[in-house]
Amino acid sequence: MSKTQSKTGNHFWVHVVLCLGGVLMVFPFIWQLIMSLMTNYEIQSVPPTFWPAELQWGNYAEVFQTIPFLKQFGVSVLITVLRTAGQLILCAMAGYAFARMHFTGRGILLGIVLSILMVPGQVYLLPQYQIIQGMNLLETPWGIVLPGIFSAFGTFLMRQFFMSLPKELEESARLDGANPFQIFWKIMLPLSKPALSAVAITTVLWSWNDLLWPLIVTTRDTAMPLSVGIATFAGRTATDYSVMMAASVMAVAPVLILFILLQRRVIEGLAHTGLKG
């Protein structure tokens, strides 16, 4: 077998593996969509039913009668917007400071910030809850937002991107009389759009799917985001899987569409942030 034939065969199997991987990743969502159009009996039938005898579009209408979907959707949108805005501002400023500004203890402070990534989030649940309770923010969007308004991971991404920019940009700005904040705001920040896009999309995905912390600080239906509302769906409705799957499809659709539209920016942003250590 020639080398050309061998390479062609290798490429064929690579494509096969990638296609299989893509099917395996998409299949859970497709199956969820199919179940949302079944009856509860068909979902639980043995042997399993892979396609409904009749499409049950009424499952989607029943979601609005079972849970305050629109209210919970609004809460999810609000906390996602607030978290994303907060992380973009704070992570960009912290990343620029760690990458470009020289001050005593910069390395130690950066190590402390990055060490947060190595500690499981469950460790902070009790002290965070006590702080939020002391601030009388339980059952409020701000009680959900505040613990996640800053991100060590986002700070690291922004730092890596700012370190990849040429120093001549800052030197030229200083010669023109710009102060550090003007350099950051007018020169560095506009150039960091790929990194900001990566931070924004990852924050949106994480915030929209966040379950544990909102589950702890909210108990009222109207104060819950969608992730919590769907998670508590089973116990209140005798596990009506068809309606639950319909609610899940509607909850995941906005973020899925957003990611599909902006996935190129995410990949570009993550690629740019890893140029320098």
* Residue 6 structure tokens: 């061998």
Domain extent for 172: 67-272
Average pLDDT for 10-24: 64
Task: Specify the pTM.
Answer: 0.82
Residue 131 has what pLDDT?
Answer: 93
Residue 236 has what pLDDT?
Answer: 55
In this structure, is residue 228 part of a structural domain? yes
**Distance (Å) of CA 242 to CA 32, 234, 246:** 9, 11, 6
In this structure, is residue 264 part of a structural domain? yes
Residue 187 has what pLDDT?
Answer: 87
Residue 276 has what pLDDT?
Answer: 43
Residue 165 has what pLDDT?
Answer: 86
Residue 90 in contact with residue 153, Cβ under 8 Å?
A: no
**Distance (Å) of CA 10 to CA 4, 19, 22, 178, 223:** 10, 14, 18, 55, 54
**Banded pLDDT at 277 (limits 50, 70, 90):** very low
**Banded pLDDT at 19 (limits 50, 70, 90):** low
Flag whether pLDDT at 18 surpasses 90. Answer: no
In this structure, is residue 112 part of a structural domain? yes
Where residue 119 sits, what CATH number does that domain have? 1.10.3720.10
In this structure, is residue 2 part of a structural domain? no
Task: Kindly report, residue by residue over 63-104, the tens digit of the pLDDT.
Answer: 898 889 999 999 999 999 999 999 999 999 999 999 888 888
Flag whether pLDDT at 237 surpasses 60. Answer: no
Flag whether pLDDT at 54 surpasses 80. Answer: yes
In this structure, is residue 277 part of a structural domain? no
Flag whether pLDDT at 184 surpasses 70. Answer: yes
Mean pLDDT of the chain: 83
Burial of 71 (C-beta count, 10 Å sphere; 0-12/13-18/19+): middle
Residue 113 in contact with residue 158, Cβ under 8 Å?
A: no
**Distance (Å) of CA 204 to CA 85, 198, 237, 262:** 10, 10, 29, 12
Query: Dihedrals φ, ψ of 39, to 5°?
Result: -85, 160
Out of 132-136, 170-174, 209-213, 222-226, least confident range:
170-174
In this structure, is residue 18 part of a structural domain? no
In this structure, is residue 20 part of a structural domain? no
* C-alpha–C-alpha distance, residues 143 and 217, integer Å: 7
* C-alpha–C-alpha distance, residues 38 and 49, integer Å: 9
Structural domains counted in the chain:
1
In this structure, is residue 222 part of a structural domain? yes
* Residue 184 structure tokens: 């950051």
